[in-house]
């Protein structure tokens, strides 16, 4: 029986891939020159620091919030790095101040919080409030027919979600992000199949993955249909006058819908917790026919959010994943031991070369580069983001060799 693999996950970013393991996350970036840069950020999960949030249903809410925060940070970092070309040192120095300012803003949490709030408001407005209002205007009253109303509005949400993804996939830049998304899945599938994570191996795997965030969102939409139907039933039972608001003046109807939509939003953490457990169970028992049926719609939807990647994109995902796995093996274990060991020696993944690095502070990255020699034994130096290093243009970056 094959030894269980370490839990990893990730997402596509601008011209790169973020891969997350227990001690933090690695962001792999593809430069215009074709070189690959991998930057590590320490970020211990809130659930690991507070085990109560690792319990069933609570862990889904925690995972959703952390994924949003880390995802936004990774996107912000990739955006700030997008136009930095490593072999143009004048350009690096010219943008050094702007980079430091952007990273300081990221570290303060203000920009991250602003992006998360904006994403939440946009998503809730488009996929929660708008379908609810549309179905109400079509003449189906939620307080009178809650199950029919939420079935129709739920299906409307799903149609709007699919249409939204289909529309943005027509944009050239988004299609490229979807290619990196496919590359991320290929690398993770390779790892979970127990194979050595290399470019050649990862290319053979599918761009679909059952635990993808796209599948998670589909489960959220399904669970919401059932759970939201109980909101007007509970309100009618608690306050008999609540039903009468629907037949009153416009202001009464607005108040009624505001209360219902507000409760829908408050229920979303519970919905996400239930959806997360569905994802875990369907993955655990994926060999069963029922679970394969449950996973099928999410996998079908991923055909919109993932595209077949280029070799260079798969290489980025492979290198980012290997860095995340290397960091996870080197992280202190439960008993204070460093990583898994064999014969008393720390075990390193065969596909990752040991590199002398400095651990970054929480949320701050460390980047390693070759500063001398072009072979695998070249001396390396750790550089914090924003600090330019003077070196010949022919110098390779960390992990620029075979994936």
Range of the domain at 228: 9-383
pLDDT in tens, 274-333: 999 989 888 888 888 888 888 999 999 999 999 999 999 999 999 999 999 999 888 765
Q: What integer pLDDT is reported at residue 208 of this predicted model?
A: 94
Whether residue 267 is contained in a domain is answered as yes
Highest mean pLDDT among 16-20, 109-113, 260-264, 397-401: 16-20
Terminal alpha carbon distance of the chain: 27
Whether residue 188 is contained in a domain is answered as yes
Whether the predicted pLDDT of 243 surpasses 80: no
Report DSSP letters for 314-334, one per residue.
HHHHHHHHHHHHHHHHHSB-T
CA 47 to chain centre: 16
Q: What integer pLDDT is reported at residue 247 of this predicted model?
A: 58
Under a CB-based contact definition with an 8 Å cutoff, are residues 22 and 333 in contact?
no
Q: What integer pLDDT is reported at residue 9 of this predicted model?
A: 87
Whether residue 401 is contained in a domain is answered as no
Whether residue 249 is contained in a domain is answered as yes
Question: Among all chains, which residue has been given the structure tokens 């994109």?
Answer: 313
* Ranges 197-201, 307-311, 362-366: which has the least confidence: 362-366
* Ranges 234-243, 250-259, 357-366: which has the least confidence: 357-366
Q: What integer pLDDT is reported at residue 246 of this predicted model?
A: 59
Average pLDDT over residues 245-254: 64
CA 230 to chain centre: 30
Q: What integer pLDDT is reported at residue 248 of this predicted model?
A: 54
Provide the percentage of residues in the chain whose pLDDT is more than 70: 71
Under a CB-based contact definition with an 8 Å cutoff, are residues 274 and 60 in contact?
yes
Q: What integer pLDDT is reported at residue 340 of this predicted model?
A: 38
How many independent structural domains does the chain possess? Answer: 1
Q: What integer pLDDT is reported at residue 140 of this predicted model?
A: 87
* Ranges 89-103, 174-188, 194-208, 380-394: which has the least confidence: 380-394
Q: What integer pLDDT is reported at residue 337 of this predicted model?
A: 38
Whether residue 402 is contained in a domain is answered as no
Whether the predicted pLDDT of 30 surpasses 60: yes
Whether the predicted pLDDT of 394 surpasses 50: no
Structure-token pair, residue 368: 């390693």
Whether residue 211 is contained in a domain is answered as yes
Provide the percentage of residues in the chain whose pLDDT is more than 90: 32
Question: Which are the contacts of 112, defined by CB distance < 8 A and separation ≥ 6?
Answer: 69, 72, 73, 76, 106
Whether residue 396 is contained in a domain is answered as no
Whether the predicted pLDDT of 363 surpasses 80: no
Average pLDDT over residues 168-194: 94
Question: Which are the contacts of 298, defined by CB distance < 8 A and separation ≥ 6?
Answer: 210, 212, 214, 215, 216, 218, 219
Question: Among all chains, which residue has been given the structure tokens 């519970």?
Answer: 270
Structure-token pair, residue 364: 């701050």
Whether residue 388 is contained in a domain is answered as no
Q: How far apart are CA 130 and CA 179, in angstroms?
A: 30
CA 92 to chain centre: 29
């Amino acid at each position: 029986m094959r030894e269980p693999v370490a839990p990893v996950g990730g997402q596509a970013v601008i011209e790169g891939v973020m891969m997350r393991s227990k001690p933090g996350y690695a962001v792999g970036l593809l430069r215009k020159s074709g070189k690959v840069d991998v930057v590590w950020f320490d970020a211990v999960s809130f659930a690991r620091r507070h085990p109560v949030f690792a319990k069933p249903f609570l862990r889904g809410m925690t995972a959703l919030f952390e994924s949003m925060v880390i995802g936004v940070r990774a996107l912000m970092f990739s955006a700030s790095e997008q136009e930095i070309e490593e072999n143009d040192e004048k350009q690096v120095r010219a943008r050094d101040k702007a980079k430091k300012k952007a990273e300081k803003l990221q570290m303060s949490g203000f920009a991250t919080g602003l992006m998360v709030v904006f994403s939440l408001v946009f998503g809730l407005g488009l996929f929660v409030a708008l379908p609810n209002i549309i179905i109400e205007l079509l003449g189906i009253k939620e307080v009178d027919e809650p199950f029919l109303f939420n079935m129709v509005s739920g299906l409307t949400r799903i149609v709007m979600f699919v249409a939204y993804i289909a529309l943005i996939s027509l944009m050239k830049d988004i299609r490229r992000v979807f290619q990196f998304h496919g590359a991320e899945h290929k690398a993770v599938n390779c790892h979970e199949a127990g194979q050595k994570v290399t470019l050649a191996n990862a290319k053979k795997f599918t761009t679909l993955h059952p635990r993808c965030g796209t599948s998670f969102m589909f489960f959220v939409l399904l669970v919401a249909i059932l759970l939201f139907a109980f909101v007007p039933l509970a309100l009618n039972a608690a306050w008999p006058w609540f039903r009468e608001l629907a037949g009153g003046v416009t202001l009464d109807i607005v108040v009624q819908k505001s209360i219902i939509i507000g409760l829908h939003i408050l229920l979303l953490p519970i919905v996400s917790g239930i959806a997360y457990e569905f994802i875990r169970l369907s993955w655990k028992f994926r060999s069963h026919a029922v679970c394969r049926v449950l996973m099928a719609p999410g996998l079908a939807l991923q055909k919109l959010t993932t595209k077949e990647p280029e070799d260079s994109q798969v290489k980025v995902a492979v290198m980012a994943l290997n860095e995340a796995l290397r960091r996870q093996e080197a992280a202190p274990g439960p008993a204070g031991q460093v990583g898994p060991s064999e014969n008393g020696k720390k075990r390193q993944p065969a596909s990752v070369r040991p590199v002398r690095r400095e651990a970054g502070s929480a949320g701050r990255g460390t980047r390693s580069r070759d500063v001398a020699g072009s072979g695998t034994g070249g001396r390396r130096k750790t550089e914090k983001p924003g600090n330019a290093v003077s070196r010949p243009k022919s110098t390779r970056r960390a992990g620029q060799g075979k994936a």
